[in-house]
Each structure stands twice: as structure tokens, then as C-alpha cells.
Amino acid sequence: MLKKITFAFFITIFISINFIEAQTYSLGVYGGPESRNLSYGSNSLKKLDLGFNAGALIEFQAFGNFSFQSGIDYSNQGSKKGGFVSTSNYPNTTSNDATFAKLNYLDVPLLIKFNYTFSENSQISIYTSAGGYVGYLLSANEFFLTQDQNSINASINVKSELNELNVGVEYILGFKKYFDSNNIFIQGIGKYGLVTIQKNKNRGGNYSGSAGLNFGFTFPINLSEENNGHLKPD
């Protein structure tokens, strides 16, 4: 099922790119701190851990103040303490305070973006983006703490027990400052997975989630006379 969703997701990206290929587009890079954790069942995210994410984006002007955005995003995910449904190698470990996980994903988002400029001559705009992403699991390790929970007792690679693909939703709110055809931006980003990450869900399952703060810049790679080569809204 996940593979079918992923295939449909990339087909959508391909169609979107071809549909708007005549419009202007920009490239960008970004990075910043990211808090992450795993939810367990109906429990909300808690005990957030700090990691980082970094990526590259491509943005296509669509119509008016709207654009499409995709790219590649490296994302640290996991949990600081507890909440990780563990491995068959440790059958007594389920969701407790004696374990934590570190997961690394490569995500590909597809977002619809709305840009708003405060005035005609303003060099600052606010934007919001929403959509979905497909994530590929690069690595996954579970760590076991000592009884006093102050140090690591052991660690194991649990990638084989987790789904390689993850599907989720993503939301962004940010500010952008223009410098001729280039711009810099700061944005808050939130992600939440919609499927459990474990292959075997008989003992329960986790959903991944993260929230981060990004800093980055974009620059045009196809200039347009209408907007002077960048994606500044009308």
C-alpha cells in the first residue's frame, strides 16, 4: 500500500512540474534545529529531543500568489526517552522509559504555497505552505539505558523491523526578505506521519513527528520579465 501511495505521489510531482514548466522557478537550500519524537497510540508527542534537518528545495510559480514546492529534506526523527515500540530481540521492551530511538529519514515533500506581500513596494512577504511528504528511512537505532537511566547500556540496529517508506503531512509558516532576484527566509515547519513506522504492528506502533525552525535562501534559475526572476507575489 505504501509503495502505491509513493508511486502516486511522485506521479503527482511529475505532472505538476510539466503543467507549470513554462513558469519561473527557483532553487534554495535551508537548515536548522528540529525537535522530534514518536507518538504512541493516542498519546500526544512528549519529551521532545533536539536534532537537525537540512535540505534543498525547488519552487515553481503557478498562478497569482500561489506556487508549488518540492525538494529533498534530511530529517532527524525519533524519541528522547520512551514511546518506542521495540524489537523482537527484546520482547519485554515495549513503550517504557528505558529506551529511546534515533531515526534518520530522507523526505520528499509536495506543497502548495501561498505568498502575501504587505505592500506593492515591500521587500518582505509572509507565506504559508501545506501538503504531504514521502519519507525514506536511512537508518534506525534503538538505545537501551542503564537502570538509573543516566547512560546508554546497549544499542541495536532496528531498521529491518521498520517500514522503509513513510507518508505524512507537512505545514510551513515563514517570512521572506527580497534582495533583487534572490531572497532569504526563516520558517517554522511541522511534520506528522500518517502510518505506523513498524512493519509488525501486533505489539503496537509509533507515528513519527517533528517541528523545526529553518533558515535559508533561494535564487532564480529561470528568469521571467513579469516578476524580475523571483517568486515575489503580485
Confidence of residue 119 (pLDDT cuts 50, 70, 90): confident
Q: Span 161-167, mean pLDDT?
A: 89
Find cell 531515526 and name the residue: 103
Secondary-structure breakdown of the chain: helix, strand, coil percentages, each rounded to the nearest 5? 10, 60, 30
The tens digit of pLDDT for each residue in 25-66 reads 789 999 999 887 776 554 444 455 678 889 999 888 877 888
Sign (positive/negative) of CA torsion 131, 136, 137, 138? negative
Neighbours of 180 (CB within 10 A): 11
Grid cell of 134 as nine digits: 514521502
Q: Is the pLDDT of residue 10 over 70?
A: no
- Domain 2-222 belongs to what architecture? Beta Barrel (2.40)
Q: What share of the chain in percent tops pLDDT 70?
A: 68
Mean pLDDT along residues 6-15: 51
Q: Does the pLDDT of residue 182 top 80, yes or no?
A: yes
pTM above 0.85, yes or no: no
Q: Is the pLDDT of residue 77 over 50?
A: yes
Distance of CA 106 to CAs 11, 87, 135, 164, 195, Å?
A: 18, 23, 5, 10, 16
**Residues 214 and 189: beta-carbon distance below 8 Å:** yes
Mean pLDDT of 5-13: 50
> What average pLDDT does this structure show over 138-159?
78
Do strands 124-145 and 66-79 pair parallel, antiparallel, or not at all (unpaired)?
Answer: unpaired
Stretch 177-202: mean pLDDT, rounded? Answer: 87
